[in-house]
Amino acid sequence: MSKVCLAPSFATLLQDFFVERLMEQRAVSPETISSYRDSFRLFLLFASDRVGRCPSDLTLADMDAPMVLAFLRHLEVNRHNSTRTRNVRLAALRSFLKYAAHRDLSALAVVQRALAVPMKRCDKPMVGYLSRDEVQQLLTAPDPDTWCGQRDTVLLATMYNTGARVSEILALRVGDVILGSSPCVHILGKGRKERTVPLWRSTATLIKRWLPRIQDVASQRLFPNRSGNAMTRSNVADRMRIAVTRAKGECPQLAKRRVSPHLVRHATAMHLLQSGVDLSVIALWLGHESPSTTHGYMEADLTMKERALNSIQPPQVKNRRYRPPDRILQFLESL
């Protein structure tokens, strides 16, 4: 008599997805794990409330297309999430559904309909960035007489020099910095890709002065909090707000800007571009997976566009108004 192969429970599937699929098989970054975790935490609470069962008692059949669509609507309407955030949450759910489809064939039809829920298109805003004067005022804003102020000075200078993501900056350790004749820093970026970014002499000098303030051992975080542990994203955001508050006296326009660590990263890219650095080099500098991501900085630089416009003469063409020859074409033109 053959044994009946029971389908794994939803809870088992979800645990295996995180432990086996994401952590062991794909070895994704801690940031990806955190993002997926938050997505499923929100979804499980929503679905549990909707069906009247605790999260552990949910089934894969509960994760059907109507449930996924209702959850996405809840994110946008009730939680006021942006379209981009909505798409990030959906990407996490779809990744799990693709995994679950191979483990529970009985739910294949439900999974396929849920996977048909599309990503929502959204506007892609122009890249924002800080001017050179704004960056200079921000770098000199921290209080040099306090331990936190000294750390923030080095932190901001390193962020601007490297153009690193905030997660990459917070992961830096003393051993990642080389302060020899050619100072540089080794950064582990997205997709576990390593890159080496050169340091300006001024940045290297600041780091050299900073090292005696912390434990000068290779495993020590380069930018710890006052307890010696790793800083968090919110710590960096808070310290940046303090720097902006101090800097806006000399640079009032900063008060009107929403200054974030990523805005500093954009500033690095734009200033490299404006200095004539090739886009492919900037892509390597920032750790972009594709140079096409870097093209957004060129789109944001109005000065470069004006130079391109001035290099050609407008054609001497007489403008003629288009007149549709047919009523149905007139209708289409009116839409």
Active site residues: 165, 190, 262, 265, 288, 297
Nearest to 162, CA basis, from 189, 180, 126: 189
Burial of 136 (0-12, 13-18, 19+ CB in 10 A): middle
What's the N-to-C CA distance of the chain in angstroms? 67
Burial of 303 (0-12, 13-18, 19+ CB in 10 A): exposed
The one-letter amino acid at 204: A
The sheet that has 194-198: what strands, in order across it?
Answer: 177-178, 184-188, 194-198
CA–CA dist 223, 174 (Å, integer): 9
β-strand partners of 186: 196
Residue 113 in tokens: 């309909």
Residue 151, Cα to own-chain centre: how many angstroms?
24
C-beta neighbour count of 13 within 10 angstroms: 21
